[in-house]
Each structure stands twice: as C-alpha cells, then as structure tokens.
Amino acid sequence: MGVSFDKIDGVIWFDGKLVPWGDANVHVLTHGLHYGSCVFEGERAYGGKIFKSTEHSERLRASANILDFDIPYSAAEIDAAKQLVLEKNGQTDAYVRPVAWRGSEMMGVSAQSNTIHLAIACWSWPSYFDPAERLKGIRLALAEYHRPDPRTIPAMAKAAGLYMICTISKHKAEREGFADAMMLDWEGYVAECTGANIFFVKDGKLHTPIADRFLAGITRATVIDLAKRRGIEVLERRIKPEELSGFSECFITGTAAEVTPVSQIANWSFTPGAITQQLMEDYTAEVTPKGTKAAA
C-alpha cells in the first residue's frame, strides 16, 4: 500500500484558494458525507495538459444541477483552477479530481441553504490495472448488484452515492481474483463496469450498451469517435448477457482505465485483437499533446 491519500505532500485548491494538502478537511457533519450530496469528476493530464478539461468541468456543473445545487464557479474558472493545481504540484502526467458537495450548515435531508464547496486535487496515478495483466486482458466477474432504473436515481449525474454498489461489487470481484466486475441494468441487459464503460467486437463492428441508463463516459465518447474515424461501425444497443459468447473481443473505457482489453467476463472468454489494439494506440495518440512523446 502506498502513502495514505491524506498524507500526500502538495496543495489542494479549496473554495478558491490553495491550501496545504493536509489542511483540506471537512467537518464530520457535512451534508455530502451523510446524505450523498456530492459530485465529482475523474480526469487525466498528459504532458501537462488535462484531456478534455472543459467537458469534464461542464459535466461536473451539470451533475451538481441534477443534485439540485449550483457550483459557484464557471466551467472556465474550474478549468483554470485545475491547471493551477497541476502546475503548483509539479505534475505533468497525473489524475485530477474535482469534487463539489453541500456543507454543514444544516444536518437533515433538506439543506437548500448549505454552502456549496469545491475542491480540486491531483496526484500521480499510473494505469488503473497492472500493466502486465492489462496487455493480455483483464478478467471481470459478473456483479450481483444491477444498475438501478433511472426513474429511481439520478443516473446521469456523476454522484458519489451512486458508486456505493460499485465499491461493493469491485471488492467482491477482487476477493475472487478478478480485476473488476461487469454490471447489468435493472432489466438484465449489459450496462457497464464499476467505473468504466464496456465495448464488444463482432465481425469487425463495435457493440456497446446505450448510455441512457448509466453515465455516458467522456472516454467512451472519445473512443466511439476514434472508431468512426477508422471506418469502424459502432452499434449502440441493448445487449443481452447470452450474446457475449458471440463476441470476439472486449475492452473497457474510462479516464482511469483508458482503453483496457478484457479476456474474460465470468464464464465468457475473449481474445484481445486488432481492433482493441488499434483503439488503444489511437487513444494514446489522441490524449498525448502534440510535440510530446507518448509514454511507452
């Protein structure tokens, strides 16, 4: 285990100013902790530039609006703050985490007058999965929990509370020797992994679940665009689990996962192939700032 995240040396942007890492604290009675009124983003910087920074900032503000609060900073101000944090921490290739939440003025379900806070941190975070395992394809379990009906949760928000069942599912998968877990939706169709979207390959075409029952990833959209540039047809549709035996390749996408091949989901097997490899390479090229050599 590395250094505890509250012990990292550096600075965090907190409500408009830079504070020492260890001083970026909230009270135990903050509403965001007790009632889940918290939204966040996961972003990566490559060569000192945050990939699709404004798209992430806009989605952060949109997620807050879905949870019925307004972040008191514009997308442009959030972009500038993220870049400042990156520079002040001397980071060029890093993970960036903006997080916004309701404060402590009122402790109850209703907290319409609570202060809205925003903090931004960044740290060095290599590939989400072990490099050797990632290249040969990671193994996924099938999660017991399903993604809930969007009529019962704010599914289009990147809200902290929605990740509770993801943590439970990933913990169980890891205890069983898997790297992650694939989740179904409430109707039993393929949805996503615990923190990444999922794609399949069949007869040279990409198949991926329609992102109307879970968060539509920014990396997902990037990969779809890259595939279309290559002339690869992308089919967004409902996918039944029993169809998995008919797919030749599988990979997942996300800011942390980037493009990661999958070799197994429960009892279904896949072989990382040419399309997955091509999109991995295309994604690396896409996120690497011009004039910067891509990392090996």
- The β-bridge partners of 259 are 253
The pLDDT score that the predictor gives to residue 292 is: 60
Assess whether 158 carries a catalytic annotation. yes
**Residue 203 three-state SS:** coil
76-124 residue pLDDT tens:
999 999 999 999 999 999 999 999 999 999 999 999 999 999 999 999 9
Q: Report the C-alpha gap between 220 and 198 in whole angstroms.
A: 8
Which of 82, 158, 172, 293 is the catalytic position? Answer: 158
Architecture of domain 11-123: 2-Layer Sandwich (3.30)
Q: Which CATH class is domain 131-287?
A: alpha beta
Residues forming CATH 3.30.470.10 domain(s) in the chain = 11-123
pLDDT tens for each residue of 28-53: 999 999 999 999 999 999 999 999 99
Maximum CA pair distance of the chain?
57
Q: Answer yes or no: are the C-beta atoms of 272 and 263 closer than 8 Å.
A: yes
Q: Which residues of 65-88 are buried (b: 16+ CB within 10 A; e: fewer)?
A: eebebebebebeebbebbbebbee
pLDDT digit string, tens, across residues 113-165: 999 999 999 999 876 666 666 778 999 999 999 999 999 999 999 999 999 99
Q: For residue 296, what pLDDT band results from cuts at 50, 70 and 90?
A: very low
- Mean pLDDT over 67-84 rounds to 98
CATH 3.20.10.10 positions along the chain are 131-287
Q: What is the mean pLDDT of the chain?
A: 95
Cα distances (angstroms) measured from residue 110 to each of 32, 72, 114, 120, 156: 12, 19, 9, 26, 22
Cα–Cα distance, 134 to 110 (Å, whole number): 44
C-alpha distances in Å from residue 274, one per residue of 168, 190, 201, 244, 283: 33, 23, 10, 18, 14
pLDDT digits 0-9 by tens, 261-276: 999 999 999 999 999 9
